[in-house]
Structure 1
Amino acid sequence: MTDTAVAWEALGGDPGLVAGVSVTGREGVLVSRLPVRRLARACVGACALAAAELTARRAGLAGVPAVHVDDGAVAAAFVSERHLLVGGRAPVSFAPLSRFWRTRDGWVRTHANYPHHRARLLRALDVSSDSPDAVAAALAERSSLEAEEAVYGAGGLAVASRTREEWAGHAQAAEVGRRALVEWGRTGVWEGDGFRGEVHARVGGGFDGRDGLPLLPAAGLRVLDLTRVIAGPVATRTLALLGADVLRVDAPEPAELADQHADTGFGKRSARLDLRVGGEVFEELLASADVVVTGYRPRALDRFGLSPEALAERRPGLIVAQLSAWGAYGPWGERRGFDSLVQAATGIADTEGDGERPGALPAQALDHGTGYLLAAGVLRAVTERTYGDGQGRVLRLALARTAAWLLADGTTDAPAHETSGAPARETPDPAPWLTERDSPLGRLRYARSPVTFEGGPVDWARPPGRWGQDAARWA
Structure 2
Amino acid sequence: MDRSHFTSPKDILHDLWSTLSLPPSVLSDDTLVEITGPEHTLPSSYRLSLIPPAAIATSALAASLIYSHRTTPINENPKIPKVKINTTHATTEYKSESYIQILNSPKPLEVWSPVSGSYQTADDRVIGIHANFPNHAISALEILGLPPDCTNKSTISSAVKLHNAMDLETTAHTQKAVIYALRSPLQWKQELQSSHLPKFPIIIRKISDAPSGLPPTLQSPHSMPKSCLSGLRVAEISRVLAGPVCGRTLAAHGADVLWIHGPHLPSLPGLDVDTSRGKRSTFLDLRDGSERNKLRELLSTADVFIQSFRPGAISSKGFSPKEVAALNPNGIIYASLNAFGESGPWKDRRGFDSMVQLCSGVNVSEAEYFNNGEKFRKWPCQALDHTAGYFLAIGILTALHRRIVEGGSWEVHVSLAGVMEYITSLGRIEGKEGFEVPEVGDVQGVEEFLETKEGMVGLVRGVRHAGRIEGVEVGYRYMPTTLGYYEAAWEAC
CA distance in 2, matches of 1:106, 1:204: 63
- Measure how far apart 1:284 and its partner are: 1.1
The aligned residue for residue 20 of structure 2 is 11
Q: 1:427 to 1:226 in 2, by over 3 A?
A: closer
- Measure how far apart 1:222 and its partner are: 0.8
The aligned residue for residue 114 of structure 2 is 96
- Measure how far apart 1:428 and its partner are: 9.5
- Measure how far apart 1:4 and its partner are: 1.6
Secondary structure in 2 matching 1:293: strand
Matching residue's letter, 1:162: R
Q: 1:254 to 1:326 in 2, by over 3 A?
A: same
CA distance in 2, matches of 1:371, 1:11: 17
| Partner of residue 383 from structure 1, selected from 401, 414, 417 | 401
- Measure how far apart 1:363 and its partner are: 0.9
- Measure how far apart 1:79 and its partner are: 0.2
1:297 aligns with 2:325: no
Matching residue's letter, 2:13: T
Matching residue's letter, 1:151: A
TM-score, with length taken from structure 1: 0.92
2:253, 2:475 within 8 Å by CA — same for their partners in 1?
Answer: no
Question: Could you give the per-residue CA deviations for residues 254-313 of structure 1, whole angstroms, max 9, x where no partner exists?
Answer: 231112110000111111111121122111111111110111111111210112232123
Q: Which runs of 5+ in 2 are unaligned?
A: 1-5
The aligned residue for residue 71 of structure 2 is 59
1:357 aligns with 2:368: no
The aligned residue for residue 211 of structure 1 is none
- Measure how far apart 1:44 and its partner are: 1.1
Question: Could you give the per-residue CA deviations for residues 370-420 of structure 1, whole angstroms, max 9, x where no partner exists?
Answer: 11111111112112211x111111011001001001112222247389489
Secondary structure in 1 matching 2:458: coil
Alignment of 1:309-328 (within 5 A): 309-316=322-329, 317-328=331-342
Question: Could you give the per-residue CA deviations for residues 148-195 of structure 1, whole angstroms, max 9, x where no partner exists?
Answer: 11222210101111111111121111001x44311111122225x874
| Partner of residue 135 from structure 2, selected from 104, 116, 119 | 116
Secondary structure in 2 matching 1:366: helix
Alignment of 1:135-284 (within 5 A): 135-176=156-197, 178-191=198-211, 195-196=214-215, 198-200=216-218, 207-208=224-225, 214=226, 216-277=227-288, 278-284=291-297
Secondary structure in 2 matching 1:33: coil
1:28, 1:427 within 8 Å by CA — same for their partners in 2?
Answer: no
1:249, 1:271 within 8 Å by CA — same for their partners in 2?
Answer: yes
Q: 1:429 to 1:458 in 2, by over 3 A?
A: farther
Secondary structure in 2 matching 1:220: coil
Identity %: 29
The aligned residue for residue 3 of structure 2 is none
Matching residue's letter, 2:161: A
1:339 aligns with 2:353: yes
CA distance in 1, matches of 2:47, 2:200: 20
Matching residue's letter, 2:305: V
After TM superposition, the structure 1 stretch with the greater mean CA deviation from structure 2, 407-416 or 221-230, is: 407-416
Question: Could you give the per-residue CA deviations for residues 194-240 of structure 1, whole angstroms, max 9, x where no partner exists?
Answer: 744x2146x596534xxxxx4x1211111110111111111111111
The aligned residue for residue 81 of structure 1 is 97
CA distance in 1, matches of 2:479, 2:158: 44
Secondary structure in 2 matching 1:174: helix
Q: Which runs of 5+ in 1 are unaligned?
A: 209-213
Alignment coverage as a number of residue pairs: 463
| Partner of residue 308 from structure 1, selected from 321, 329, 337 | 321
